[in-house]
């Protein structure tokens, strides 16, 4: 028997890339690869990349530069680039870094084993097509390894919304939903392998409209209600949602579906109608605020999070004040915020840009406000009873770590094994986590 070859995968970007990297590792398993933790050991290095902001994309080239010596020492080493930079830049990657053997876009991963077999030496292989098939149907794990308590599961991919700043519709393609039966089968399989909590993924996950088992499309709410029936699946989350795709049934599910966790990431990007319009977001500040009222009416303790961009083209101080004011009004449990990054090929890249020092100063001000809200939200948990899904050993002896229903990191003194759902009382709130005792 030939010894297994070693694969090192480095993942950048969003959770969907994390999911995709797992699928690619499993697929390359059928070519005789096992995953390793260091590039120095590898026979193949695969970078799963992100194109969302300029810095994310540039990081890939500096990372590739670092592999120069490895490739010189081991000419058989195969280097591949997957993900959104692969999709956006294609052959340009090999022009800038000739040591790259393989470039594969997110919609072609099912072809990766065959591409890997061809790539290497003078053979360069590129695939950035958008085929019509469900790639995940071809990316099957064998053998079925045991899994930890939490897992991602992609149900929807791509985006048709074309926000003026965003590359995702170009790198991931049009919105596609996986058939419900495939999602249910994959979820059951994950649960059989030890998973207790599943986070459903999609670039616009709540736009899910997958084919139902008896024909007709299922909504995300329908899918969640069906997943909730799986024995052993005790927690469901989903991300990322778009405000315009939150339908009544999904809002209702937050109130009446106990396994659906009280946490919702609902990016708004800006609190100024003038900017939202220029961003092509197709919701207003007011429609967003009213939506949050309805969600909170269904599930009063839901923890809300968002994404924000500062310094979008033509953003004035008054626009930025509107964003701060919206944040004050909503009260977020956490948020991701970014300085606007001009992306080639997007409409906003052509518009008058805000000076960098201005967007940076706004970002810092916004982040300070979010940090205060995050701390306040965490502090308010002290004394409350919550569920914690134990994931791993904590740092101190006898301590275990996991996530609360509201996705706070929690430490508990307990002998409970990973995969156990504990009821705990929160005793302390630290900068990034809560301490709790079992009840």
- Number of Cβ within 10 Å of residue 334's Cβ equals 19
Q: Does 271 bind ligand SAH (CB under 6 A)?
A: no
Contacts of ligand SAH in 24-83 (CB under 6 A): 52-53
Q: Does 224 bind ligand SF4 (CB under 6 A)?
A: no
Known binder of ligand: residue 159?
Answer: yes
Distance from C-alpha of 347 to C-alpha of 371, rounded to nearest angstrom: 32
Q: Does 347 bind ligand SF4 (CB under 6 A)?
A: no
Q: Please give the full DSSP string across 342-364, using - where no structure is assigned.
A: --TTSGGGGSPPPPHHHHHHHHH
Considering only residues 168, 261, 366, 422, which one is a binding residue for ligand SAH as defined by CB under 6 A?
A: 168
How many of the chain's residues bind ligand F3S (CB under 6 A)? 13
Q: What are 307's strand-pairing partners?
A: 336
- Number of Cβ within 10 Å of residue 321's Cβ equals 14
Task: Using alpha carbons, list the distances in angstroms from residue 141 to 5, 149, 186, 277.
Answer: 17, 18, 11, 44
The closest of 91, 135, 78, 84 to 105, measured between CA atoms, is: 84
Q: Does 47 bind ligand F3S (CB under 6 A)?
A: no
**Binding partner of 335, given ligand SAH, ligand F3S, ligand SF4, none, CB within 5-8 angstroms per partner class:** none
Report in angstroms how near the CB of residue 209 gets to ligand F3S at its nearest: 19
Of the candidate spans 140-148, 161-169, 382-390, 412-420, the one that interacts with ligand SAH by CB under 6 A turns out to be 161-169
Q: Does 53 bind ligand SF4 (CB under 6 A)?
A: no
Of the candidate spans 88-96, 218-226, 339-347, 384-392, the one that interacts with ligand SAH by CB under 6 A turns out to be 339-347
**If you search the block for the tokens 């919701």, which residue do you land on?**
283
Known binder of ligand: residue 257?
Answer: no
Contacts of ligand SF4 in 235-264 (CB under 6 A): 242
Distance from C-alpha of 73 to C-alpha of 407, rounded to nearest angstrom: 44
**Binding partner of 208, given ligand SF4, ligand F3S, ligand SAH, none, CB within 5-8 angstroms per partner class:** none
H helix or E strand, kind and range, residue 436? strand 434-438
Distance from C-alpha of 363 to C-alpha of 288, rounded to nearest angstrom: 21
**Binding partner of 23, given ligand F3S, ligand SAH, ligand SF4, none, CB within 5-8 angstroms per partner class:** none
**Binding partner of 90, given ligand SF4, ligand F3S, ligand SAH, none, CB within 5-8 angstroms per partner class:** none
Considering only residues 17, 272, 414, 429, which one is a binding residue for ligand F3S as defined by CB under 6 A?
A: 17
Distance from C-alpha of 48 to C-alpha of 102, rounded to nearest angstrom: 12
Q: What are 238's strand-pairing partners?
A: 200
Report in angstroms how near the CB of residue 416 gets to ligand SAH at its nearest: 35
Q: Does 178 bind ligand F3S (CB under 6 A)?
A: no
Considering only residues 46, 50, 60, 227, which one is a binding residue for ligand F3S as defined by CB under 6 A?
A: 50
Using the minimum distance from each CB to ligand F3S, give the nearer residue, 169 or 418.
Answer: 169
Contacts of ligand F3S in 54-83 (CB under 6 A): 83
- Three-state secondary structure call for residue 197: strand
Using the minimum distance from each CB to ligand SF4, give the nearer residue, 28 or 57.
Answer: 57
Is residue 334 within 8 Å of residue 296, measured between CB atoms?
Answer: no
H helix or E strand, kind and range, residue 97? none
Distance from C-alpha of 344 to C-alpha of 84, rounded to nearest angstrom: 14
Report in angstroms how near the CB of residue 34 gets to ligand F3S at its nearest: 25
For residue 98, the Cα-to-chain-centroid distance in whole angstroms is 30
How many of the chain's residues bind ligand SF4 (CB under 6 A)? 10
Pairing mode of beta strands 5-11, 33-35: parallel
Q: Does 338 bind ligand SAH (CB under 6 A)?
A: yes
Distance from C-alpha of 239 to C-alpha of 438, rounded to nearest angstrom: 29
Using the minimum distance from each CB to ligand F3S, give the nearer residue, 45 or 52.
Answer: 52
All residues at 6 or more sequence positions from 289 whose CB lies less than 8 Å from its CB, including other chains: 326, 329, 330
Is residue 180 within 8 Å of residue 218, measured between CB atoms?
Answer: yes
Report in angstroms how near the CB of residue 50 gets to ligand F3S at its nearest: 3
Report in angstroms how near the CB of residue 158 gets to ligand F3S at its nearest: 9
Known binder of ligand: residue 163?
Answer: yes
- Three-state secondary structure call for residue 424: strand
Number of Cα atoms under 13 Å in the Cβ half of residue 88: 25
Considering only residues 52, 86, 198, 224, which one is a binding residue for ligand F3S as defined by CB under 6 A?
A: 52
Footprint of ligand SF4 on this chain (CB under 6 A)?
159, 161-163, 166, 168-169, 203-204, 242
Footprint of ligand F3S on this chain (CB under 6 A)?
13-14, 16-17, 50-52, 83-84, 167-168, 171-172
Residues forming the annotated binding site for [4Fe-4S] cluster? 14, 50, 84, 159, 163, 166
């Amino acid at each position: 028997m030939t010894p297994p070859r070693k694969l090192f995968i480095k993942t950048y970007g969003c959770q969907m890339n994390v999911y995709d990297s797992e699928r690619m590792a499993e697929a390359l398993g059928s070519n005789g690869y096992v995953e390793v933790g260091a590039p120095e050991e590898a026979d193949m290095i695969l970078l799963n990349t992100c194109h969302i902001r300029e810095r994310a994309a540039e990081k890939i080239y500096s990372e590739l530069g670092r592999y120069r010596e490895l490739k010189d020492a081991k000419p058989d080493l195969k280097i591949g680039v997957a993900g959104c930079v692969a999709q956006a830049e294609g052959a340009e990657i090999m022009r800038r870094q000739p040591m790259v053997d393989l470039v594969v876009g997110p919609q072609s991963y099912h072809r990766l084993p065959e591409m890997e077999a061809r790539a290497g030496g003078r053979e360069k292989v590129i695939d950035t097509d958008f085929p019509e098939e469900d790639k995940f149907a071809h990316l099957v794990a064998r053998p079925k390894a045991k899994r930890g308590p939490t897992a991602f599961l992609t149900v929807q991919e791509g985006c048709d919304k074309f926000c003026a700043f965003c590359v995702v519709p170009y790198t991931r393609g049009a919105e596609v939903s996986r058939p419900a039966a495939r999602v249910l089968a994959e979820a059951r399989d994950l649960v059989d392998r030890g998973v207790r909590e599943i986070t459903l993924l999609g670039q616009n996950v709540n736009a899910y409209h997958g084919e139902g088992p008896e024909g007709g499309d299922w909504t995300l709410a329908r899918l969640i209600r069906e997943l909730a029936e799986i024995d052993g699946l005790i927690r469901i989350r989903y991300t990322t949602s778009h405000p315009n795709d939150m339908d009544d049934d999904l809002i209702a599910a937050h109130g009446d579906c106990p396994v659906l966790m009280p946490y919702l990431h609902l990016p708004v990007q800006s609190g100024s109608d003038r900017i939202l319009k220029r961003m092509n977001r197709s919701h207003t500040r007011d429609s967003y605020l009213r939506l949050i009222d309805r969600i909170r009416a269904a599930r009063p303790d839901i923890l809300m999070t968002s994404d924000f961009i500062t310094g979008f083209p033509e953003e004035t101080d008054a626009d930025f004040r509107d964003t701060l004011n919206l944040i004050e009004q909503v009260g977020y449990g956490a948020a991701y915020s970014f300085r606007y990054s001009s992306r080639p090929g997007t409409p906003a890249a052509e518009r008058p840009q805000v000076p960098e020092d201005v967007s940076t100063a706004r970002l810092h001000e916004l982040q300070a406000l979010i940090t205060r809200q995050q701390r306040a939200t965490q502090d308010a948990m002290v004394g409350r009873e919550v569920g914690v899904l134990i994931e791993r050993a904590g740092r101190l002896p006898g301590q275990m770590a996991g996530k609360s229903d509201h996705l706070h990191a929690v430490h508990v003194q307990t002998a409970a094994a990973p995969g156990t759902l504990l009821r705990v009382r929160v005793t302390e709130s630290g900068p990034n986590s809560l301490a709790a005792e079992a009840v």
